Structure 1
Amino acid sequence: LDVLTPALSGPGPVDVENDTFTVHNPLDIGPVAPLPVLIAALGPVMLRIAGEQADGTILWMADERAIADHVTPRITEAAAAAGRPAPRIVAGLPVCLCRPSEVDAARERANRILAEAETSPNYQRLLDRGGATSIGDICVAGDEEAIAAGLRRYAEAGATDLSVRLLPIGDTLDDLRASKRRTREMIAALAKDLR
């Protein structure tokens, strides 16, 4: 962050010398528009760093309770103490538009194809901070109303942005493609309505 932040803040040179980096870049270039820096901060130390030095965090495997009780207070307190604006909290979620009778199938599919992250100690600690035991528990699945309600719960917990992982269900490739398309179109319509 000591190097990245000045490089993205330009125009201007980057001159950084610390215990890890020696960077003297005389190029006087910078982004055309402000470019936010978001880091994957999950634990207390990284959330403090994200609040103090970055524009926010990007999460995966965090349910509403983990965001409300662990992420939001730590990162916003650190940002406030550093005199920075309220940070962005990007919640990464699998989402599946389906009939209520298919919600269990969606959760099972999430556990089958996305569960590799659960073996990470960092993600496991984040799961433990919330009420979820698996990625299937975090999956927002159901009809349009259920998905809208699930996304509202994340917003109420402190998520400022959502990073949606489309989770299709079905028995055939055509079923999976149609499911993914329906979910994408519903999310796009919902995002448009929120603007």
Structure 2
Amino acid sequence: MTNDLAERKAAIRREALARRDAMDEAERIDASLTVGDRVADHVTAAPAVVSGFLPIRSEIDIRPLMMRFADRRARLCVPAIVSGELQFRELLRGAPLEPQGFGTYAPGPDAAVLDPELMLVPLAAFDRRGGRIGYGRGYYDRAIARLRGKGLSPMLIGVAFACQEADSVPMDDHDVPLPLIVTEAGMIQP
């Protein structure tokens, strides 16, 4: 990635996260539940394995949505960082969680490693073309590429608050655009 592209992405990320941080806590809770309802209504077939994430800082909280998929008999997993890459470890009620950096947690190395059929992708910023900016390390782009390299084609749904939308997100060759982004304001299908 060129230095200019990285700097533009960093500026968009900072601005979007500042808007997210400025949201009132009650507004974040209500918006998170609305996003969960929209995704659950959209995904009518029950995927066997759903990857989600445990929220950090002011991030959207999709735990209620994940439980709705568990109620549909989906196995849940969340990302663990292993040797600089994401590994999707099964999330089981009562299983111990370990710190992963970035302020998040994941099941330990004894947890089953799963290949998700549905990936709920966290976003720092996004645009209406399906462009996304994460937290700047490319974890999700590489994880999606690895799954596709195994012949898998997980359904990708970006989830975020509407205030995180940017006019345009610069994309590099390795950046994976999202076919669906869901916010409390609606669904964006580029």
TM over 0.5: no
Kindly indicate which of the two structures has a greater share of residues assigned to strand.
2
TM-score, normalisation: structure 1: 0.29
Larger Rg: 1
Kindly indicate which of the two structures has a greater share of residues assigned to helix.
1
